């Protein structure tokens, strides 16, 4: 089972390192388990190169067969898990939203609901994806998801932010940024700064330095360290702005077509502990 889970995690992430992070193992341990699985099956599951990892045809077939089985097993385990009479709520949440919005509020949820335990899966940073094994998914969608329950939480709005020191150095003359202005770019939205430039009417410096990162948490840290200007979700960087570690560089916010949704099945929504969490989160966001 460990080898099969390691294989599924590596197949999902196309990376032994990211699979290891999900499973709290080392990359070498994941690689070793998959080698053992390949030896037992007598097939090669991955095409390996210095810069990439991809499934072979045999790997694709095994992943397709295994994924629903392991997800169903997770559901069975969660359904039959009870610790001192507690209900277990399994959430699938994109990492930055979990870090900035959900986790800081969980103490309040537990204070009001001591009989509910929560498991939060933040391993997947992709939009438009609903995790079958989770009771509730909270993530970005480019259009309303096809689920029984789809609560639109808020639209994605990106705001330009930087460290206080970076803010002090920004110079704008006649709508054009004339100071050094390195751009921190999210791999998922490589043209977001161009869209921001068009919608804001502020011209970015030409041929400036670009720092590309693949996670919003890394982008936030890079901006806080003064490495450049970052476009971040306005609703999710509010705590960092209030603390003073980040400063809005301009008042303009870039509206995206995407929005954060809470999704679950109708059967899940009828369960008391899931309904309780859903009501609580919607109330928390409404209060803001």
Task: List pLDDT tens digits, range 61-104.
Answer: 999 888 788 777 776 766 665 554 568 899 999 889 999 999 98
Query: What is the location of CATH 3.40.190.10 in the chain?
Result: 82-155+260-287, 160-258
A 10 A CB-CB count for 59 gives: 20
Under the banding of pLDDT at 50, 70 and 90, the label for residue 9 is: confident
Burial 130-163 (b: 16+ CB within 10 A, else e): bbebbbbbbbbbeeebebebebebeebbbbbbbb
| Predicted pLDDT of residue 149 | 93
In 3-state terms the chain splits into helix, strand, coil percentages (rounded to 5) of: 45, 25, 30
Separation CA 61–CA 80 (nearest Å) = 30
The superfamily in CATH containing domain 160-258 is Periplasmic binding protein-like II (3.40.190.10)
In whole angstroms, give the CA distance from residue 130 to residue 145: 9
- The pLDDT of residue 237: 92
Contact 253, 165 (CB under 8 A): no
Q: What is the pLDDT of residue 128?
A: 62
CA distance 182 to 76: 49
Superfamily of domain 82-155+260-287: Periplasmic binding protein-like II (3.40.190.10)
Rounded to whole angstroms, the Cα distance separating 166 from 155 reads: 27
CATH 1.10.10.10 fits 2-78, yes or no: yes
Q: Is the pLDDT of residue 131 over 80?
A: no
With contact defined as beta carbons under 8 Å apart, do 178 and 279 qualify? Answer: no
């Amino acid at each position: 089972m460990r080898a099969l889970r390691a294989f599924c995690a590596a197949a999902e992430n196309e990376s032994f390192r990211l699979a290891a992070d999900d499973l709290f193992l080392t990359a070498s341990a994941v690689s070793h388990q998959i080698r053992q699985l390949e030896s037992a099956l007598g097939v090669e599951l991955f095409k390996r190169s210095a810069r990439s990892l991809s499934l072979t045809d045999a790997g694709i077939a095994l992943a397709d067969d295994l994924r629903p089985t392991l997800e169903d097993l997770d559901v069975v385990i969660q359904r039959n898990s009870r610790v001192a009479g507690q209900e277990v709520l399994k959430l699938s949440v994109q990492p930055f939203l979990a870090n900035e919005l959900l986790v800081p509020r969980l103490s309040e949820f537990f204070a009001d609901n001591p009989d509910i335990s929560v498991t939060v899966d933040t391993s997947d940073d992709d939009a438009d994806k609903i995790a079958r094994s989770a009771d509730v998914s909270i993530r970005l969608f480019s259009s309303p998801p096809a689920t029984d329950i789809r609560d639109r939480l808020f639209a994605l709005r990106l705001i330009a932010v930087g460290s206080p020191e970076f803010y002090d150095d920004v110079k704008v003359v006649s709508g054009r940024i004339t100071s050094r202005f390195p751009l921190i770019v999210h791999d998922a939205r490589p043209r977001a700064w161009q869209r921001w430039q068009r919608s804001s009417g502020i011209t970015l410096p030409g041929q400036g330095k670009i720092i590309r990162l693949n996670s919003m948490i890394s982008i936030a840290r890079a901006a806080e360290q003064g490495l450049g200007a970052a476009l971040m979700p306005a609703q999710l960087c509010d705590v960092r702005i209030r603390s003073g570690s980040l400063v809005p560089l301009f008042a303009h916010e870039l509206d995206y077509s995407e929005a954060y949704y809470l999704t679950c099945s109708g059967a899940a929504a009828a369960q008391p502990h899931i309904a309780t969490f859903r009501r609580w989160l919607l109330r928390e966001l409404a209060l803001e």
